[in-house]
Structure 1
Amino acid sequence: MKWLITSALLSAAATTAFAGDQYIDETGFAVSGYDVVAYFDLEQAPVGSAQPAAVPGDRSITTEYNGATFAFATEANLETFLSDPERYVPQYDGHCAYGVSRGGKVPGNPNLWRIVDDRLYLNITENVVGFWEEDIPGNITLAEGNWGGIEAAPASTNTIPNFSSPAPVN
């Protein structure tokens, strides 16, 4: 029993120590209130094409994770998220993946997304998406290398450029 408690405490401590601050914009929600599970049901556009629009969450269907409120379009999506949150949260705590590949934390726009190897990545502007898509695997490698050094830095407090969020609904 003592081993089980120690293991649980170490696991919780490790999770807390390695999680940075989630990017939160003016909506007060992670990912601007969009449903992170719904991305995995959308058909991705080919590289070089705009992705389908993100699915707004419902402000009455939420959960707290990594110090932030996540909203969901349906109770089923909330339950799916709760079963494996790490699978659905955007990489780099919702910050722009290309920005992290360059060593910084800038906001991630929930409508500029791509799923790679079953992980959700966000970017900040359409121009940045172009740079990101020039070498997605290379940019992920760079971002992974940079993340350990910047993860503990405070979350970006910047506004997402040219973005107006209708999410969450209700």
Structure 2
Amino acid sequence: MLTRRFLLGAMAAVLIAPAATAQEVPVYYEADGAALAGYDPVSYFRSDAPVLGLPEYAVVWKGAEWHFASDENREAFERDPRAFAPQFGGYCAYAMANGTLVGTDPMAWQVVDGRLYLTHSPEIEEMWREATAEYIRMAEAHWPVVLYEQ
């Protein structure tokens, strides 16, 4: 059941979204260089919904520009960026479970066990939530392979 549903969902993700092109660094970002489309990564953990960051509170990490809503959030990120950065470089966690790099919607997200996971769209996020633990396991197995194939 999981395999059939997963394959159908993964095919839908690939069909409805252009594949993200691999960049020189393992972080998905917009054409302007902003990770998370400018949303504050710390806000995913400290608010009910992500908050747009401001360029004046930006830092560059892993080749992407990360924006923050406050100096306090920027400092928290600078102390431990891996605690706040999305898993799989911000690529769609659901697609990564199938070994594919697909861009994400910063409003389609979930924090699981203190880690931020993004998906391509709210529709993909719904499928992701049906078997999150299994998808995480599959994505973690694919991530190093996909990352180093690029």
TM-score by length of 2: 0.80
Deviating above 2 A after TM superposition, structure 1's stretches of 4 or more consecutive aligned residues are: none
The aligned counterpart of 1:47 is none
TM-score by length of 1: 0.71
1:20–1:153: 8 Å Cα contact kept in structure 2? no
Larger Rg: 1
Of the three residues 29, 36, 40, the one matched with 2:34 is: 29
The aligned counterpart of 1:55 is 51
SS at match of 1:122: strand
> What percent identity do the matched residue pairs reach?
33
The aligned counterpart of 2:146 is 150
Q: Give the unaligned 5+ runs of structure 2.
A: 1-23
Alpha-carbon RMSD: 1.5
Aligned partner letter, 1:38: S
Q: Cα distance 1:58–1:82, how it changes in 2: closer, same or farther (>3 A)?
A: same
Number of equivalences: 127
The aligned counterpart of 2:128 is 132
The aligned counterpart of 1:141 is 137
Q: Give the unaligned 5+ runs of structure 1.
A: 1-18, 44-51, 155-170
1:90 lines up with 2:90 in the alignment: no
CA distance in 2, matches of 1:119, 1:67: 21
